Amino acid sequence: MQEWFRAGCPRCLVIAEVAQAHDGSLGAAHAYIDAVAAAGADAVKFQTHIAAAESTPSEPWRVPFSPQDESRYAYWKRMEFTEPQWRGLLEHAGEKGIGFLSSPFSEEAVDLLERIGVPALKVASGEVMNLPLVERMAAAGKPLLFSSGMSGWEELDAAVEVARRRGLPFAVLQCTTAYPCPPEETGLNVLAEIRGRYGCPAGLSDHSGAIYAGLAAAVLGAKLVEVHVTFSRACFGPDVPASLTVEELADLVRGVRFLERALANPVDKDAAAGRREELRRTFGKSVVAARDLPAGHLLRREDLALKKPGTGLPPARLSHCVGRTTTRPLAADEILSEDDLA
């Protein structure tokens, strides 16, 4: 991530957000890294929860989805990994050649991620207004990615200013906190507003559960596209309806790369047509005799037709042929040349 910022953000990063899709299983978390890498994503992202540091036992459920966890606090507890386990996940991502990111939800989580050496930190939508935590994240001296799903401009301004004061590279992602997010609430227009307001890379953190918004964001100049990922929509978890399957993630990656190449190579229509002259002759049409015609015949429109290939007089010359005289006999379907006309 740091290299990407230093290089001027040359490509759109596709970030696969695992979040809690691992459901507390370390093995599943590692399996997601393998799947995300195989799909071609640039980075895998997790969330680092330390229940005692971020929550109280009275925290309400966002969605009461879990029959095995008696409280939201218990759920966060079950989502915890130890520091060596987090280090193992980061190292696994490195072995697979992809970046590793996480959103910390407490200062203790920031400390943990700093110790294992994460290259950048993601400020979750619900933490942008938590300036003490943003300050602690900025103190780590790493690039910050701000997700804006719960913030208006004033709150984002304050959070971004924390990164600016420290001279940190940063990016802001348009996000709508809805699971799944309907098309009319995606906010693709905000990408340009982010670039204009902050002069930083703009991205989309998409919760639509489809590849379309991410592809549109890439066309609109997004430098980051983040999507939730799941092995299957039959999996357990609150984010599944807003997630892409790993197969859809691969489709998104291919689409983003296709669009990058297309946008990076503008086409000159005249030059392109000239390079396809052979195809123009093959698929184009020529002026031909519609029937057998004798020499000295005064041509009428009904004496002529337009047929393939395009190796003779082009259709644009048809009107110029009418009223002229043939210089030699012409067989039906014979292609006319200028020498055949007086």
The secondary structure of 213-237, three-state, reads HHHHHHHCCCCEEEEEEECCCCCCC
Rounded to a whole number, what is the distance in angstroms from the first to the last CA of the chain?
72
Shared domain check, 253 and 310: no
Angstrom CA distances, 60 to 71, 196, 217, stand at: 8, 37, 34
How many residues are there in the chain? 342
Shared domain check, 240 and 259: yes
Q: What is the CATH number of the domain that holds 121?
A: 3.20.20.70
Shared domain check, 183 and 277: no
Give the pLDDT score at 276: 80
Residue 16, helix vs strand vs coil: strand
**Which token pair is 81?**
């990994």
Angstrom CA distances, 201 to 57, 86, 191, 328, stand at: 38, 28, 9, 70
- Tokens 């701000």, residue located: 146
Last-in-domain residue among 264, 282, 298: 264
Give the pLDDT score at 233: 92
Shared domain check, 33 and 113: yes
Q: What is the CATH number of the domain that holds 285?
A: 3.90.1210.10
Instruction: Determine how many CB atoms are found less than 10 A away from the CB of residue 134.
Output: 23
Shared domain check, 321 and 219: no
Shared domain check, 223 and 114: yes
Domain that holds residue 329: 271-340
Shared domain check, 292 and 248: no
User: What b-and-e string marks burial along 19-50, b requiring 16 or more CB atoms within 10 Å of the CB?
Assistant: bbbbebeeeebbebbebbbebbbbbbbbbbbb
Alpha carbon 299 to chain centroid distance? 59
Q: From the first residue on, what is the mean pLDDT of each consecutive set of 10 residues in the chain (342 residues)?
A: 88 96 96 98 97 90 80 90 98 97 97 97 96 97 96 96 97 94 96 97 97 98 97 90 96 98 91 81 93 96 95 94 96 95 92
- In the chain, the number of structural domains is 2
Shared domain check, 198 and 126: yes
Angstrom CA distances, 63 to 71, 209, 215, stand at: 11, 17, 29
Give the pLDDT score at 133: 97
Give the pLDDT score at 103: 97
Give the pLDDT score at 280: 83
Shared domain check, 169 and 73: yes
Give the pLDDT score at 282: 86
Asked whether the beta carbons of 119 and 1 are under 8 A apart, the reply is yes
Give the pLDDT score at 275: 80
Last-in-domain residue among 264, 279, 306: 264
Asked whether the beta carbons of 204 and 214 are under 8 A apart, the reply is yes
Calpha distance 180→139 (Å, rounded): 34
- Give the largest Cα separation in the chain, rounded: 102
Shared domain check, 168 and 295: no
Shared domain check, 141 and 30: yes
Last-in-domain residue among 264, 287, 317: 264
Shared domain check, 290 and 147: no
